[in-house]
Amino acid sequence: MAEHVIKLPDVGEGVAEAELVEWHVKVGDPVQEDTVLAAVMTDKATVEIPSPVEGEVKWLGAEVGEIVAVGSPIVRIEIAGDTSPSDEDPMDDGEGEAPIAEGMASEGEDLPPPPAEPSPRPDKKAERRETPPAPKPAASSARPVPSGAPRPRGEKPLASPAVRLRAKEAGVDLRQVPGSGPAGRINHDDLDAFIARGPQAAIPSGLQRKDGVEEVRIVGLRRRIAEKMALAKSRIPHITYVEEIDVTALEELRARLNADGKADRPRLTILPFLMRAIVRAVAEQPALNATFDDEAGVVHRHAPVHIGIAAQTPAGLMVPVVRHAEARDLFDCASEAARLADAARDGSATREDLTGSTITITSLGAMGGVVTTPVINHPEVAIVGVNKIMMRPVWDGAQFVPRKMMNLSSSFDHRVIDGWDAAVFVQRLKTLMETPALIFVET
Amino acid sequence: MAGRPEGGEEQHSPTQRTDAMKDISCKLLVIGAGPGGYVCAIRAGQLGVDTVIVDFQKPGGTCLNVGCIPSKALIHAADEFLKVREMAGGSDPLGISLASPAIDLPKTIAWKDRIVGRLNTGVAGLLKKAGVKSVTGHARFRDGKTVEVETETGIQVIRAEAIVIATGSAPVELPSLPFGGPVISSTGALSLSEVPATLAVIGGGYIGLELGIAYAKLGAKVTVVEAQDRILPLYDADLTRPVVKRLQALGVEVLTGAKAKGLSKSKDALLVETANGEEAKIAAEKVLVTVGRRPVVEGWGLKEIDLDRDGRFIRIDEQCRTSMRGVYAIGDVTGEPMLAHRAMAQGEMVAEIVAGQRRSWDKRCVPAVCFTDPEIVSAGLTPDEARQGGREVRVGQFPFSANGRAMTLQAEDGFVRIVARADNHLVLGIQAVGAGVSELSAAFSLAIEMGARLEDVAGTIHAHPTQSEGLQEAALKALGHALHI
């Protein structure tokens, strides 16, 4: 039988393995050329694996969450239109077309003359149809569940006496169970699924006690985030320092630049200003633009300023990196940050886009709150958190005046950064941002 | 269905022990060995519950002793007799001829009694096999956990953790026509020594019509007096029409909208006020009163335990629990429909509850069968009932006149009718009228209980040639593509 085996391709420089994060197909699915089969993830880049051939999926080589080595077979596809057996090793990644001809030739005598005749190994095919892959016990929780109220209020649940008896014995109120059968009939499978899932699909109206726990497997990016956060918080004693910044002048400048903006210039947010301010500040305090290899006991102070920008994506938190911010002007920083944010969101960010930062900025924009306690992007030693800008009354010595105020919540690795140094750094940022001209003055 | 003898509501006051009998303690005591009570006791025994059952008569209750079973025996005898009488008439289309037949009613009754006797013995054997102790006598509550039974040998005290009241029902008596003399109840009608020349039946419900038709076939001149404007008022007119037609063919006179006033002075006729207010005198050697049944709530100490009532009946919840903890009630004493199979299902359920299992009443339908000629079956909702509340329904009806098997049985009257929801085709009810349709009731209730849709019934192969094809055709008709009509 002609099969095409798809192996995990080399998905990134120096990557030896990747985590399978999603299957887009299942066994038995027909696929076209370029149908996306799966998504795998390396570091923070997710790569989709397309099908090079047309056919039917026969075998999947990994489960979601599994780490797969580059070069291992992950999918076998029976090539469309060909049903003849082949002596070739199914693992052999041969050309799709060749086995068809070979197979036809070698088995020609046994084959009924017209190729339109169904498979010469019908028993195998039938077997596959009759015995769908047995669902694992856990699979029942992933079963699609009819949403909403199982049936209109007051309507009796529809179920055979045997189902009703089992429900009674299991203590299940069938009024709460959605039925997938005709006319909403509750069958044994529905009851099994309900029991496995717990009674969470209760009628939404009215107050009802809920029991049961939903298990969500932490895989892919979420698992990486979890590991990274746990590492950062368990290894690094954080000190968080919050200072308020008067960004009235900065906002005026920003608005002015955006208003005068030429077509080829990116729209400015507060981030490129902060990036440039950080470049200025770390020039005076190189200890802040560093990574700490605590196992070796070495702090690496970096000459380039590669600024990570924490970004929310549909998949979760990602930190694309603006490389060499020290060599980029305001607009260059802005356009590179915008490009990376888009790339992170649409999944096209490369591994290079997502690694190598030396200091990180985190911002939730309008959701930024008043204060945050940012978690350092290990193994860096500093992270600067941007809170939201608020118009606040400020006493100028004679009266209250409305000023645009913004807090910076910044965390530092207290093992290598003293509170004093942290405060000096943030005060330097404050000075630069409150008098934005200083950011641009050559010294 | 295992109540006191009808009219026998004499009060017992067994406060003094005439004999020193040892008290019995058990987990479950069932009062009444009718179909509800004996099924409850057998099931409890199967589940290892220490069970005692009490009745004053042989096990089987009204159903077995003076109801379902003996009446069906008599109806069968009457059918057979009518057949040969018609053949003896000389114009039998089947070409059978024979000499003028006769019936020896005492022999018929003796045959019926043997059937009843065999079943009595059978039920007693089943109880014994299940390890249930039977006590014969009238039971009376002392309190919610203690019952005194007046046995032949003295007062037996039984203490039980749970008690099931299954005392059944008894025929309703008319004040103007108390039972006795020519006035008989259904029980009396099952034990007549000869076929009366004239019989007046008061009450055109299923009991009166079943027995009235049987006696008409046995040769009596039967008149049915019904106060409402039609017979079998609980069934819709479409279902009863073939029965009305058959009554006419059998020469049974039906007076609707008429009231029975009493016996004539000579006690050989019934005085009736007809629909237009006239007095009429109907010759009646016997007057059969079948105006309904009432729950047996006297004579066993209901006052002592003061249970909540639901009209005349004992109030129960969906687990057949009464207002007193540990006291259950099942069967006719708990309300309509007063049918043996409802009581049996309740009895089985209560036994399992007492044994510690989780159960509650969740039946979708209780089928009802009327053994008139032709028979009527109703399971689930009729079209009118289904339409209540504004629901859209689909109705499919298939006549037996288009059914080959019905033709070969000379039974072309009647039809099968199926009622389903218009939106999802869920079968809500199935009814039929026709010869022998009682045996179709299993398919009807199974379809409803399983939550079948019209497509399920239509897509099931029904054996040919049988009357049951009418069910499939009715479903096809409701779907708009009946094949044989």
| B424 contacts chain A (CB < 8 A) | yes
Residues 317-376 of chain B with CB under 8 A from chain A are: 357-360, 362, 364
Token readout for B32 is 């009444």
Cβ-contact B331, B36 below 8 angstroms: yes
Distance from the B328 Cα atom to the nearest Cα atom in chain A, whole angstroms? 20
Q: What is the 3-state secondary structure (H, E, C) of chain B?
A: CCCCCCCCCCCCCCCCCCCCCCCEEEEEEEECCCHHHHHHHHHHHHCCCCEEEEECCCCCHHHHHHCHHHHHHHHHHHHHHHHHHHHHCCCCCCCCCCCCCCCCHHHHHHHHHHHHHHHHHHHHHHHHHCCCEEEECEEEEEECCEEEEEECCEEEEEEEEEEEECCCEEECCECCECCECCEECHHHHCCCCCCCCEEEEECCCHHHHHHHHHHHHHCCEEEEEECCCCCCCCCCHHHHHHHHHHHHHCCCEEEECCEEEEECCCCCEEEEECCCCCEEEEECCEEEECCCEEECCCCCCHHHHCCCEECCEECCCCCCECCCCCEEECHHHHCCCCCHHHHHHHHHHHHHHHCCCCCCCCCCCCCEEECCCCEEEEEECCHHHHHCCCCCEEEEEEEHHHCHHHHHCCCCCCEEEEEEECCCCEEEEEEEEECCHHHHHHHHHHHHHCCCEHHHHHCCCCCCCCCCHHHHHHHHHHCCCCCCC
The residues, any chain, with a CB within 8 Å of residue B191's CB and separated by 6 or more, are: B109
What residues contact A251, with CB distance under 8 A and at least 6 apart? A270, A389, A404
Model pTM score? 0.60
- For chain A, the first-to-last Cα distance in angstroms comes to 73
Q: Quick check: B358 and A185 CB within 8 A?
A: no
The angle at the Cα of B431, spanning B426 to B435, to the nearest 5 degrees, equals 145
pLDDT for residue B54: 97
CB pairs under 8 A between A and B: 33
Per the CB < 8 A criterion, the answer to whether B198 and B266 are in contact is no
Q: What pLDDT does residue B5 have?
A: 44
Question: A221-440: which CATH architecture?
Answer: 2-Layer Sandwich (3.30)
Q: Has residue A97 got a pLDDT over 50?
A: no
Answer yes or no: do B451 and A164 touch at CB < 8 A.
Answer: no
Is the pLDDT confidence value at A322 over 70? yes
Of the candidates A10, A294, A414, A421, the residue annotated as catalytic is A414
Select, from the ranges A82-96, A136-150, A274-288, the one with the highest average predicted confidence (pLDDT).
A274-288
CB contact under 8 A, B424 and A184: yes
Q: Which residue of B has its CA nearest to A170?
A: B358
pLDDT, tens digit (0-9, with 9 covering 90-100), for B356-388? 999 999 999 999 999 999 999 999 999 999 999
C-alpha span between B254 and B233 (Å, rounded)? 13
Question: Is residue A83 pLDDT above 50, yes or no?
Answer: no
The pLDDT score that the predictor gives to residue A122 is 42
Query: How far does the CA of residue A174 sit from the closest CA of chain B (Å)?
Result: 11
Q: How far is CA A374 from CA A44, A231, A364, B240, B483, in A?
A: 20, 14, 11, 83, 76
Does the beta-carbon distance from B450 to A161 stay under 8 Å? yes
Which positions in chain A touch B364 (Cβ < 8 Å)? 156
Higher pLDDT pick, A276 / A107: A276
Cis peptide before A199 (omega within 30 of 0): no
ipTM of the predicted structure? 0.73
pLDDT category of residue A200 using cuts at 50, 70 and 90:
low
Superfamily of domain B368-478 in the CATH hierarchy: FAD/NAD-linked reductase, C-terminal dimerisation domain (3.30.390.30)
Each residue's pLDDT, cut to its tens digit, for chain B (485 residues) gives 444 444 444 444 444 545 558 999 999 999 999 999 999 999 999 999 999 999 999 999 999 999 999 999 999 999 999 999 999 988 889 999 998 899 999 999 999 999 999 999 999 999 999 999 999 999 999 999 999 999 999 999 999 999 999 999 999 999 999 999 999 999 999 999 999 999 999 999 999 999 999 999 999 999 999 999 999 988 999 999 999 999 999 999 999 999 999 999 999 999 999 999 999 999 999 999 999 999 999 999 988 888 999 999 999 999 999 999 999 999 999 999 999 999 999 999 999 999 999 999 999 999 999 999 999 999 999 999 999 978 999 999 999 999 999 999 999 999 999 999 999 999 999 999 999 999 999 999 999 999 999 999 999 999 999 999 999 999 999 999 999 98
* Identical fold, B1-171+292-362 and B183-291: yes
Write down the pLDDT at residue B460: 95
Q: Is A169 close to B357, i.e. CB distance below 8 A? A: yes
A156 in contact with B at a CB cutoff of 8 Å?
Answer: yes
Average pLDDT value over all residues in chain B: 93
The alpha carbon dihedral of A384, A385, A391, A393 has a sign of negative
In DSSP terms, B305 is beta-bridged to none
Whether A113 and chain B come into contact, CB under 8 Å, resolves to: no
Highest mean pLDDT, choosing among A17-21, A56-60, A147-151: A56-60
Q: Which of A299-313, A345-359, B459-473 has the lowest mean pLDDT?
A: A345-359
pLDDT the model gives residue A234: 93
Mutate to test the interface with A, among B319, B362, B365 (most CBs of A within 10 A): B362
A356 or A90, greater pLDDT: A356
Q: Is the peptide bond before B374 cis (omega within 30 degrees of 0)?
A: yes
pLDDT at position A127 is: 41
How close B346 gets to chain A, by Cα (Å)?
Answer: 15
pLDDT average, residue stretch A159-183:
88
Q: How far apart are CA A421 and CA A412, in angstroms?
A: 10
Mutate to test the interface with A, among B47, B360, B363, B364 (most CBs of A within 10 A): B364
Find the CB nearest B358 among A156, A169, A182: A169
Task: Please give the share of chain A, as a percent, with pLDDT higher than 90.
Answer: 38
Q: Does the structure show a pLDDT above 60 at A114?
A: no
The reply to whether B425 touches chain A by the CB within 8 Å rule is yes
In CATH, the number for domain B1-171+292-362 is 3.50.50.60
Instruction: Residues B183-291: name the CATH superfamily.
Output: FAD/NAD(P)-binding domain (3.50.50.60)
Q: What is the identity of the amino acid at B182?
A: P
pLDDT at A136: 40
- Using the Cβ of B426 and the Cβ atoms of chain A, whether some distance falls under 8 Å is answered with yes
Supply the residues of B annotated as catalytic: 464
Q: What pLDDT is recorded for position A210?
A: 78
The domain defined by A139-197 carries CATH number 3.30.720.210: no
Flag if B426 and A158 touch (Cβ within 8 Å): yes
Q: Dig out the tokens for A88 from the structure.
A: 């070739």
Q: Which of A87, A342, A346, A418 is catalytic?
A: A418
Confidence of residue A86 (pLDDT cuts 50, 70, 90): very low
In this prediction, residues A428-436 reach a mean pLDDT of 94
- Write down the pLDDT at residue A367: 82
Cβ contact, residue pair A185, B451, below 8 Å = yes
Could you say which residues from 172 to 191 on chain A have a Cβ atom under 8 Å away from some Cβ of chain B?
Answer: 181-185
pLDDT in tens, A370-383: 999 999 999 999 99
C-alpha to C-alpha distance for B431 and B417, rounded to whole angstroms = 5
pLDDT of residue B194: 94
Name the minimum distance, in Å, from the CA of B234 to any CA of chain A. 24
Chain A residues in contact with B361 (beta carbon < 8 A)? none
Domain ranges of chain A: 3-130, 139-197, 221-440
CA distance A43 to A221: 8
Cβ contact (<8 Å) for B360 and A168? Answer: yes
Which of A153 and A228 is assigned the larger pLDDT? A228
Mutate to test the interface with B, among A155, A163, A165, A175 (most CBs of B within 10 A): A165
Cβ of A168 within 8 Å of Cβ of B421? The answer is no
Task: Tell me which chain A residues have a C-beta less than 8 angstroms from the C-beta of B456.
Answer: 182
Interface with B, mutate which of A153, A156, A168, A169 (most B CBs under 10 A): A168
| Beta-bridge partners for B421 | B393
**Which residues in chain B have their CB less than 8 angstroms from residue A181's CB?**
451
Nearest CB partner across the interface for B358, out of A161, A171, A183: A171
Q: With beta carbons under 8 A apart, name residues in chain A contacting B345.
A: none
Catalytic residue flag (residue A418): yes
β-strands B269-273, B279-283 pairing: antiparallel
What is the dotted CATH code of the domain comprising A3-130?
2.40.50.100
Counting every residue, how long is chain A?
443
Judge whether residue A51 has pLDDT over 60.
Answer: yes
Q: What is the share, in percent, of chain B residues with pLDDT greater than 70?
A: 96
- Residue A153 — very low, low, confident or very high, per pLDDT cuts 50/70/90? low
High-pLDDT (> 70) share of chain A, %: 78
Q: Is B453 at the interface with chain A, CB within 8 A?
A: yes
SS3 of chain A: CCEEEEECCCCCCCCCEEEEEEECCCCCCEECCCCEEEEEEECCEEEEEECCCCEEEEEECCCCCCEEECCCEEEEEEECCCCCCCCCCCCCCCCCCHHHHHHHHHCCCCCCCCCCCCCCCHHHHHHHHHCCCCCCCCHHHHCCCCCCCCCCCCCCCCECHHHHHHHHHHCCCHHHCCCCCHHHCECHHHHHHHHHHCCCCCCCCCCCCCCCCCCCCCCHHHHHHHHHHHHHHHHCCEEEEEEEEECHHHHHHHHHHHHCCCCCCCCCCHHHHHHHHHHHHHHHCHHHCEEEECCCCEEEECCCCCEEEEEEECCEEECCEECCHHHCCHHHHHHHHHHHHHHHHHCCCCCHHHCCCCEEEEECHHHCCCCCCCCCCCCECEEEEEEEEEEEEEECCCCEEEEEEEEEEEEEECCCCCHHHHHHHHHHHHHHHHCCHHHHCCC
